[in-house]
């Protein structure tokens, strides 16, 4: 197996991979079989407990997270991030240890960086599952179709503004038996709401 250890100034990789992120330090970069592995760790001297808010600099232990990132020059990028667990010194705090946060890098329990997660959301919204998965393979950060669908389903529902022009129509959920009412914005033609029946009562309540 051929492993290339990339020798470069650490500040170069910090600015390249962690641009604008001050609490992460790159320790080493290696490349093998089309994948760039970036080893990094937090450089903050302390962290605040998420329950009581007290800052602690007492390290209990550490573990490593493996995060997929956006590709670089057609090479897959994986960040191996060492995460420290700090000891909370507050006597009445229910949390005895806590992991240092990397809110700018990734979300809790995520396997992707935040920026890659945003790209997956956009791909999922545009192409959904199978077509989106084929596109990610071409772009160098292949994920499964269910991963894309889970990213889309986790997004909050958009909050539409009150339309100036309202369109009202009905449609059959079970033809000849059950009908519902759909409300649309007359200017953007986007769906605003769906009411459970086509009777006038729920529409009047909605308008009120």
pLDDT at 139 > cutoff 60: yes
Measuring CA to CA, which residue among 109, 99, 190 is closest to residue 150? 109
CB 192 within 8 A of CB 186: no
Could you tell me the pLDDT band of residue 1, with boundaries at 50, 70 and 90? low
Section 52-64 average pLDDT: 93
| Residue 140 falls in which region: left (phi positive, over 0), alpha (psi -120 to 50) or beta | left
- What are residue 38's phi and psi, to 5 degrees? -110, 120
Section 68-76 average pLDDT: 86
User: Whole-prediction pTM value?
Assistant: 0.72
Q: Give the torsion sign (CA, 159, 161, 162, 164).
A: negative
Could you tell me the pLDDT band of residue 85, with boundaries at 50, 70 and 90? very high
CB 61 within 8 A of CB 98: no
Report helix, strand or coil for 28: strand
Instruction: Specify the length of the chain in residues.
Output: 208
Could you tell me the pLDDT band of residue 81, with boundaries at 50, 70 and 90? very high
| DSSP strand pairing (59-72 vs 55-56) | unpaired
Report CA 174 to chain centroid distance, whole Å. 37
Higher pLDDT, 24 or 146: 146
Q: Average model confidence (pLDDT) for the chain?
A: 86
Q: Lowest mean pLDDT: which of 11-25, 120-134, 157-171?
A: 11-25
Higher pLDDT, 159 or 168: 168
Can you give the pLDDT at residue 72?
A: 83
């Amino acid at each position: 197996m051929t492993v290339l250890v990339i020798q470069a100034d650490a500040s170069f990789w910090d600015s390249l991979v962690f641009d604008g992120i001050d609490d992460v330090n790159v320790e080493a970069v290696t490349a093998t079989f089309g994948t760039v592995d970036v080893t990094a760790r937090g450089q903050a001297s302390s962290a605040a407990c998420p329950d009581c808010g007290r800052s602690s600099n007492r390290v209990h232990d550490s573990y490593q997270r493996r995060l997929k990132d956006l590709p670089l020059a057609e090479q897959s990028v994986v960040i191996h991030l060492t995460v420290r667990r700090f000891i909370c010194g507050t006597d009445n705090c229910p949390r005895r240890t806590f992991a240092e946060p990397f809110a700018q890098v990734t979300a809790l329990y995520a396997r992707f960086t935040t920026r890659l997660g945003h790209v997956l959301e956009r791909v999922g919204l545009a192409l959904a599952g199978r077509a989106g998965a084929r596109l990610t393979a071409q772009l160098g950060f292949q994920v499964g179709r269910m991963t894309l669908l889970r990213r889309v389903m986790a997004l909050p529902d958009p909050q539409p503004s009150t339309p100036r022009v309202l369109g009202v129509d009905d449609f059959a959920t079970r033809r000849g038996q059950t009908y519902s009412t759909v409300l649309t914005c007359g200017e953007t033609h986007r769906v605003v709401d769906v009411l459970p029946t086509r009777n006038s009562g729920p529409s009047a309540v909605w308008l009120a």
